[in-house]
């Protein structure tokens, strides 16, 4: 399943939830946007929020941008349910 995310680096705490723009899930991470640290932290946070291993989350596009697309491996129905809950905030 592919999901659009909006990364907000430098947050006081990590949190996945809410929407930005056309439905991208907001991912707040503590890591700064330096040397890919925020991207890696965002991928870990997404994996945790969706209940999958980090290796099941792959960056598709947006390596250096705040807006990214990730692909999550797993049960499509369960992932869709979790995505809907995360979008609610």
Residue 10 has pLDDT above 90, yes or no: yes
Query: pLDDT category, 87, cuts 50, 70, 90?
Result: very high
- In angstroms, the CA 41 to CA 48 distance is 11
**Rounded to two decimals, what is the model's pTM?**
0.95
pLDDT digits (tens, 9 = 90+) for 56-85: 999 999 999 999 999 999 999 999 999 999
Measured in Å, how far apart are the chain's first and last C-alpha atoms? 20
* Mean pLDDT, the chain, integer: 97
DSSP E strand boundaries for 15-84:
15-20, 24-28, 57-61, 67-72
Instruction: State which CATH number among 3.40.50.720, 3.30.1200.10, 3.40.718.10, 3.30.70.890 fits the domain covering 2-88.
Output: 3.30.1200.10
At 38, give phi and psi (nearest 5°): -65, -40
Q: Please report, for the chain, the start and end positions of each structural domain, with discontinuous segments joined by +.
A: 2-88
Residues 56, 66: Cα–Cα separation, whole Å = 21
Residues ≥6 apart with Cβ < 8 Å to 23: 4, 87
Q: Are 53 and 47 in contact (CB under 8 A)?
A: yes
């Amino acid at each position: 399943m592919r999901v659009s995310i909006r990364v907000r680096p430098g947050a006081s705490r990590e949190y996945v939830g809410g929407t930005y723009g056309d439905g991208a899930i907001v991912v707040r991470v503590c890591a700064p946007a330096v040397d890919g640290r925020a991207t890696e932290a965002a991928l870990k946070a997404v994996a945790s929020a969706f209940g999958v291993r980090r290796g099941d989350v792959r960056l598709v596009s947006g390596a250096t941008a705040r807006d990214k697309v990730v692909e999550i491996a797993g049960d499509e129905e369960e992932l869709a349910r979790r995505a809907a809950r995360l979008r609610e905030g």
